[in-house]
Amino acid sequence: MRTGRKREEKNMPVSLFMNHQDMMFGYGHLGIVNVIFGLVLFFLIIKMIIGISFMRKNPDEREEGYKDKGMSKKENIERYHEAGLSDTDNKIFRENLSEAKENIKTWEKLLKKEDDLQVVESVTGGLEASKQTFKYIVQNPQELTKQNEFLYKDLPNMVKLSEKFIEMKKQSVRTEEINRDLDETLLLIKTLSHSISKNYHEILMDDVNVIKHQVDFDK
């Protein structure tokens, strides 16, 4: 009896090891699949949490290209009041800027759809200049009236011209007249884009001339 028990005790580790191997080889594939599935599910949950957190942010905080990172909304309002804007004026000012921002965003989306528009941008830099001009107006609300042409004429016209150009290029039949209209529209876009860049350059030079005058005056 003792001999038989000893044999059983000696065989137990071997038996357990064999059972463990059977489990690994018999169910190993299913186990690996479960682990992979669990990891994928875990990362999906994390991604959803991060996505929800991002969506809950203020839309202005997600528009990095148009946000004045150095100033909070409260500080901007205080700055507008210091510039002489009443609460009513401040509301109108922000509505005008919101419309201008949408025009710039639409222009950028249209530009990304069409190679010819991207070539124009690489030559004139109009879109980038419009973003910088927008930031300048946000930081200097007293300059709003000086930028009426940019806000209410140039930006809307650029969006319209870009939309019409893309629509014309989609036409399956290209007549001589259509090609001529495409060239003319593209030339208008280029001219307007250059004008927007020139406007921003003049804004920069105004600041430079102010500093230049101060330097000369000090001398």
pLDDT in tens, the chain (219 residues): 545 544 444 444 444 444 444 444 444 555 665 666 667 666 666 666 655 444 444 444 444 445 544 455 555 555 565 655 666 666 777 888 999 999 999 999 999 999 999 999 999 999 999 999 999 999 888 888 899 999 999 999 999 999 999 999 999 888 999 999 999 999 999 999 999 999 999 999 987 877 777 776 555
Domains in the chain: how many in total?
Answer: 2
190 in any annotated domain: yes
Q: Which domain, by its residues, includes 59?
A: 1-63
Asked whether residue 153 is domain-assigned, the answer is: yes
Name residues whose C-beta falls within 8 Å of residue 59's C-beta, 6 or more positions apart in sequence.
none
Tell me, yes or no, whether 53 and 17 share the same domain.
yes
Residue 12 lies in a domain: yes
Residues 6+ apart with CB under 8 A from 81: 90
> Cα(144)–Cα(158) distance, rounded to whole angstroms?
19
Would the pTM of this model clear 0.85, i.e. be above it?
no
d(CA 108, CA 59): 18
Q: What is the dihedral of CA 70, 76, 78, 79, to 10 degrees?
A: 80
